[in-house]
Amino acid sequence: MTSLRTFQNEIDEISHRKRAVDPSSTAQSPPDPSKVDEDEVPDIDEQVQDLLLSGKAENRDRARDVLASVLTRGRGEYIFRIGSFPPHASLFAYEPITANDAHGTPRTAQELCSLHEGITNIVDEVGGKVSVLYESTVAPLRIALLLRLPPPSVALTPEVRCAVVGNVDSGKSTTLGVLTRGALDDGRGRARVSLFRHKHEVESGRTSSVGMEILGFGPTGKPILPPTSHSTELEVIRREKMSWEDISIQASKIISFIDLAGHERYLKTTLYGLTSGAPSCVILIVGGNAGLIGMSKEHLAIALALSVPVVVCITKIDMTPRPKLEETIKQVTKILKSPGCRKTPIFVKSEETSVEVSQVFAKDRLCPIFQLSNVTGEGLDYLRTFLNLLPASEGDTEKFLVDQPLEYCVTEVWSVPYVGTVVDGILNAGRVKAGDAVMIGPDSNGNFQNTVIKSIQRKRAEAGQCVSFALKRMRRAAVRKGMVIVHKTETPPRAVRRFEGQVLILYHNTTLQRNYQAMLHCGAIRQTVRIVAMDHPQGVLRTGDRATVTFEFISHPEYIKEGMKLLFREGKTKGLGVITKLL
């Protein structure tokens, strides 16, 4: 029986290997200039501090050039640290910090003040803003500053996609309502009413669809909230919400929350949001009074299967009795440390921890845990700081290839009066602009149709970005979720009906055999597949078994690529894998 973690590591290797030999991406991606080498970071901070403390005018100019360069490479954002800082292991464990453990050059209070002022003046000269993330006035003295340049245009505003999941009644929509609207909840669900999209959601208090909420942060790191953020009137809260355009004009970073359903009835909607939305992290909401129950475990398993970093928010701490809250915390910690998860839980109880864990949690297999009250506001500032500093989703150059041919995945389709057919989705590769001739498909026969990008609603058109297109002369009925848009060429992409995949059966109460049918999720594709063949010696698959399986799409061919991850289910999630061969 193959362990989940071992299999995930193997399918990640297969995915990277297939992407490397993909004929559509034979050109080697250049090094990303936006990525700041982490080994360089302390040297940069120390170098700038030494230049400024020298007091020489030419050294100040050199310090300005260094900061301007690092801001450009960091997509207009950089965390500058002054003084001696504790190692992450000590900080995250809340152990006593001594001067001997700290990294960096110790500074006096006077030097800290002088350097803060000098850096603020320099960043102001290059058109940026400086804000204090945290400051320690006890030994070792230290201060962390956020250096941020406003984006040159709305099209270049960094965006972070976060999927919000959790069991029904765990507080997902209430937490999002408080974060995006600013007003605290009244303990009876006032904060969430503005998030519901359908009448039955308002009546039941439960989300049944994939909702998208956004939170903008300005150059100083403050959240951008509607002017009515402190209103207590339900109708005002429901009506007054800022549009994407209103927020993006003011924002230096945008957090897009994919609000997913918590009820088991809507699992397919939740799974589609997780696979198609390409989130940078999954925020798992756990009710402090209920614990990690029901669909929360299923959502956590899906996030782990997709190798998406996880953040846990324990809500309702104001109303949960202390013994029950401690029981929930113990349960969450135990599950995260289990062999299936192998995450290190980090309880965020300070601004410093919030800042530092935001930079390393994804690659160090850490799981930040926030304890929140949407009624009193406890813990919300730590969560806002964390969200404000998350790296932009489009900065993931392994997943999104800017210098490759256009590949856009359709996740939503609408018919807009006086505009026509509008699609929403994510640019997996390349660039596109209004007026470009493109092809969309595959249709039910596997063919691609020619069309033109009539307009780009959000003016965002680079790999990694979520963007909406209006398509010229395309009927709404001819477009569906899971289609792709590519640049017009003489030879359209190939759509397939059959493919092979390496799969691991997570759970099934009997056996899987030939002709077994299940719902397949692969990116934005959601279609029933049939098992045609398998290489298992007994010809059947049980829980924990691993095999190479040949799948066939039931309804119509799809555009898929080797290396894409897949999930298949019948009811709850049954298995995961990776596409290894197109047939």
| The pLDDT of residue 28 is above 60 | no
Q: Give residue 501's identity as a one-letter amino acid code.
A: G
pLDDT of residue 511: 85
| The pLDDT of residue 32 is above 50 | no
User: 289: which DSSP letter?
Assistant: T
pLDDT of residue 508: 82
Q: What is the mean pLDDT of residues 253-257?
A: 92
pLDDT of residue 223: 93
Query: What counts of helices (H) and strands (E) characterise the chain?
Result: 14, 23
The pairing of strands 159-166 and 281-287 is: parallel
Say how far apart CA 387 and CA 382 lie, in whole Å: 9
CB 410 within 8 A of CB 483: yes
Model confidence band, residue 464 (pLDDT cutoffs 50, 70, 90): confident
| The pLDDT of residue 369 is above 50 | yes
| The pLDDT of residue 229 is above 60 | no
pLDDT of residue 204: 45
Say how far apart CA 323 and CA 59 lie, in whole Å: 58
Q: Which two tokens stand for residue 42?
A: 């302390």
Measured between alpha carbons, how far is residue 196 from residues 191, 192, 205, 419 in Å?
11, 7, 8, 26
Lowest mean pLDDT among 83-97, 255-269, 549-563: 255-269
pLDDT of residue 207: 45
| The pLDDT of residue 532 is above 90 | yes
Q: What is the mean pLDDT of residues 326-345?
A: 92
| The pLDDT of residue 269 is above 80 | no
Say how far apart CA 56 and CA 49 lie, in whole Å: 12
pLDDT of residue 16: 73
pLDDT digits (tens, 9 = 90+) for 161-220: 999 998 888 888 889 988 988 888 777 666 666 555 544 444 444 444 456 788 999 999
Model confidence band, residue 33 (pLDDT cutoffs 50, 70, 90): very low
H or E stretch at 160: strand 159-166
Say how far apart CA 100 and CA 116 lie, in whole Å: 24
- 567's CB contacts (< 8 A; 6+ apart) are 271, 275, 302, 305, 306, 520, 521, 522, 573, 575, 576
pLDDT digits (tens, 9 = 90+) for 424-459: 999 999 989 889 999 999 999 999 999 999 998 755
Lowest mean pLDDT among 35-44, 396-405, 416-425, 482-491: 35-44
Q: What is the mean pLDDT of residues 64-90?
A: 91
Closest to 502 measured CA to CA, from 542, 534, 543, 532: 534
The percent of residues above 90 in pLDDT, for the chain, comes to 51
The phi and psi torsions of 485 (rounded to 5 degrees) equal -115, 130
Q: Mean pLDDT in the chain?
A: 85
Q: What is the mean pLDDT of residues 381-395?
A: 92
Residues in the chain: 583
Counting beta carbons within 10 angstroms of the beta carbon of residue 60, is it exposed (0 to 12), middle (13 to 18) or buried (19 or more)?
A: middle
Greater pLDDT, 189 or 254: 254
Could you count the other beta carbons within 10 Å of the beta carbon of residue 109? 10
pLDDT of residue 342: 87
b/e code 501-527 from CB counts within 10 Å (16+ = b): bbbbbbebeeebeeebebbbbbbbbbb
| The pLDDT of residue 539 is above 70 | yes
Lowest mean pLDDT among 25-29, 440-444, 512-516: 25-29
pLDDT of residue 458: 59
Measured between alpha carbons, how far is residue 335 from residues 3, 171, 349 in Å?
16, 20, 21
Greater pLDDT, 1 or 559: 559
- 405's CB contacts (< 8 A; 6+ apart) are 24, 429, 430, 486, 487
pLDDT digits (tens, 9 = 90+) for 299-319: 888 888 888 999 999 999 999
CB 48 within 8 A of CB 119: yes
Q: What is the mean pLDDT of residues 335-357?
A: 92
pLDDT of residue 529: 96
CA angle, residues 207, 210, 211, in degrees to nearest 5: 80
User: Could you give the 3-state DSSP secondary structure of residue 452?
Assistant: strand
Q: Which two tokens stand for residue 473?
A: 């002369």
Q: What is the mean pLDDT of residues 508-521?
A: 89
Q: What is the mean pLDDT of residues 142-149?
A: 95
pLDDT of residue 208: 42
Please confirm whether the linkage preceding 417 is cis (ω < 30° from 0).
Answer: no
| The pLDDT of residue 481 is above 90 | yes
Please confirm whether the linkage preceding 442 is cis (ω < 30° from 0).
Answer: yes
Q: What is the mean pLDDT of residues 320-330?
A: 95
Model confidence band, residue 246 (pLDDT cutoffs 50, 70, 90): confident
pLDDT of residue 99: 62
- 159's CB contacts (< 8 A; 6+ apart) are 253, 254, 255, 256, 392, 393, 394, 460, 465, 466
pLDDT of residue 29: 40
- 363's CB contacts (< 8 A; 6+ apart) are none
Model confidence band, residue 536 (pLDDT cutoffs 50, 70, 90): confident
Q: Which domains does the chain have, with CATH numbers?
A: 4-18+496-582 (2.40.30.10), 41-73+77-148 (no CATH), 154-395 (3.40.50.300), 407-487 (2.40.30.10)
User: 341: which DSSP letter?
Assistant: T
Model confidence band, residue 520 (pLDDT cutoffs 50, 70, 90): very high
